[in-house]
Amino acid sequence: MPRQGPAQIILPDFGTSTTILEIADPAADDHGPGTYTYPTDHVFKAQAFDLKTFKIAYDEKNMVFNFPFNGLVPNPWGSINNLAIQTLDVYVDKDPGSGTGARLLLPGRNASLAKGFGWEYALWAEGWTPQIIAPDASTLDPKQVTGVNFKIIVGPDSNSVTLRVPRTVFGDGDPTKWAYTGVVLGQEGYPSTGVWRVRNVTASSEQWHFGGAPNDTNHTLNIDLAWPDGVTPTQEQMLSTYTARNSAGNQLTIDDFPQIQMLVQE
């Protein structure tokens, strides 16, 4: 410990939580639909967006979402919560199969939940504007839930990010019966119009853009999807199955985007 000046201690995420789901994500699938490549700037190290596992748990007070990576979780731009280049989304469907809630993921993600699923709450974890989101009751447009927040804990030694969210955020219900989706994207401080701060994917990799995108406006910006190895449909199948459009964002519908299945406890 320094004799003078500030010090920082990052505590590991130990505790008596109960695991709901823990999946092993395939290695080297940080390529979205199978074709995406990393931006060329040196801050984007190999496998920095490549999930190793995805774990969902709860304790008496919190829901806990753990994202370990095969690569580093760096903080080159000095985010206060130590999360900089990655953005993590979590979607929670409290009544899977009913078709209630919102199917379209947060703005700019360019993906939807498969029919029968719909999220009541979304966590948007990034270095500067983390939020808890719920769909508007009438329009289903995403709206920030105010008066609550969650903790983002980065473990630099374990290359992991843990989100600890008060259970009161989600209201009543049994979290073992809910459905979940976890997604990794690139954080972007200067996003395209209508995109909530995630990095673009263009035809070829550039300094600040992922590459490998087709020539359309509705390809996904998701880089890695938390999805079990060997399960069909695969991440690549889900994220590449859609009809290409060249339309403005407000002309696209829920079904114009890739359709994502959700994780449920067996």
Q: How is the chain split into domains, by residue range?
A: 18-264
Contact present, 159 and 70 (Cβ < 8 Å): yes
Measured CA distances, 46 to 41, 42, 53, 154, 182 (Å):
11, 10, 17, 18, 20
3-state helix, strand, coil in the chain (%, to 5): 5, 30, 65
Instruction: Provide the pLDDT for residue 15.
Output: 60
Q: How far apart are the C-alpha atoms of 217 and 236, rounded to whole Å?
A: 18
Q: How far apart are the C-alpha atoms of 53 and 79, rounded to whole Å?
A: 24
Summarised one tens digit per residue, pLDDT across range 183-217 is 999 999 999 999 999 999 999 999 999 999 999 99
Instruction: Provide the pLDDT for residue 248.
Output: 83
Q: How far apart are the C-alpha atoms of 198 and 224, rounded to whole Å?
A: 13
Question: For the domain 18-264, what is the CATH code?
Answer: 2.60.40.1190
Residue 78's pLDDT band, with cuts at 50, 70 and 90, is very high
Instruction: Provide the pLDDT for residue 121.
Output: 98
Read off the tokens for 171: 């209201």
Residue 8's pLDDT band, with cuts at 50, 70 and 90, is low
Q: Give the residue carrying structure tokens 């590991």.
A: 12
Residue type, 143: K
Measured CA distances, 65 to 30, 55, 206 (Å):
19, 6, 31
Of the candidates 132, 184, 174, the residue with the CA atom closest to the CA atom of residue 265: 174
| 14 has pLDDT over 70 | no
Q: Are strands 160-166 and 53-58 parallel, antiparallel or unpaired?
A: unpaired
Instruction: For residue 142, list its beta bridge partners.
Output: 135
The pTM assigned to this predicted structure is 0.94
